[in-house]
Copies of this chain bind each other. A is one copy, B any other.
Amino acid sequence: MSKNYYPEAQPAVPGRKAISRLALDPSPCRACPVRPLSICDSLAEDELQHLAAIVSPLRLGPGQPLFDEGEQADFLFNVISGCVKVYKLLPDGRRQIIGFLFTGDFLGLAMTDVYAYSAEAVTGAELCRFPRRKLESLMERYPQIEKRLLGLANHELAVAQEQMLLLGRKTAKERLVSFLLMLSKRARMDGSDADQVFVPITRNDIGDYLGLTTETVSRSFTQLRNDGLIEVTSDNKVTLLDSGALQAIAQGF
């Protein structure tokens, strides 16, 4: 159950040292491959030791929970590799996935003293854990971190609003295409081929993210295949055959 979907052989950030350094290096943050992507980049090289002093690494197997909604929120996290999902539940089991987090993403905005949502690994994942108290006192000392977090929160808010438009007003096909383009955009940012997106997420999770059922997601995939807009291989790779047309669909034209 603990096999990593992003093994050493294909590091999540190509051309950089493998993740295992994180636990061994005496100044792990300085060597951290995801630093340029994360909030940690708001500190200068020689200030990183203060961060390194409070972090601890964390490995999760696929499906392993990180925390549950309502728990005391004592830790914040940074995703080093893999994919983590964040979701809310209704009492009868209805679930809404709020977002998927990937390499470099920060997990810990939008919360009070308790977590406002649950989090669990989708694929195997490596995280960096910050004790909340200690991070807060570090923020007192280095307000740049606060500034960076504000920028992050603003961005997250914009993404959340776009998702509200999707959930409130888009059709099933438009939703799925929007989702695929989000993954494509992310692949481009990571330096991968933007028209060859790897989808490590089940139909069920995609449904719970898009406000649809598994079956509707599956049918929408089939439709897009029949329309000649995508190709799906058995190993969960989706090829975008006409990203112009897909863009138009996602935006509601």
Contacts and interface: CB of A to CB of B under 8 A. Distances in A.
8 contacts: A94-B169, A94-B252, A95-B169, A110-B160, A110-B161, A157-B160, A168-B210, A168-B211
Copies of this chain held together in the complex: 2
Given A91-B252, A92-B253, A110-B161, 12 more contacts: A88-B162, A90-B251, A90-B252, A92-B252, A95-B169, A116-B158, A117-B161, A143-B146, A150-B150, A153-B153, A160-B161, A167-B168
Contacts of A109: 153-154, 157
B96 A168 contact: yes
A1 interface: no
Contacts of A147: 146
A169 B96 contact: yes
B154 A154 contact: no
A251 to B, nearest CB: 7
A246 to B, nearest CB: 15
A147 B253 CA distance: 40
A55 to B, nearest CB: 21
Interface string A137-171: 00000010011011001101110111111011110
A117 B159 CA distance: 12
A194 interface: no
A196 to B, nearest CB: 28
Nearest to A209: B168
A161 B112 CA distance: 13
A98 B252 contact: no
Contacts of A91: 251-253
A54 interface: no
A108 to B, nearest CB: 10
A211 B169 contact: yes
Contact of A153 (B98, B150, B163): B150
Contacts of A164: 88, 96, 98, 160, 163-164, 167
A94 B90 CA distance: 28
A245 interface: no
A91 B251 CA distance: 8
Contacts of A208: 168
Contacts of A149: 150
A201 interface: no
Given A146-B150, A252-B91, A111 B158 contact: yes
Nearest to A157: B110
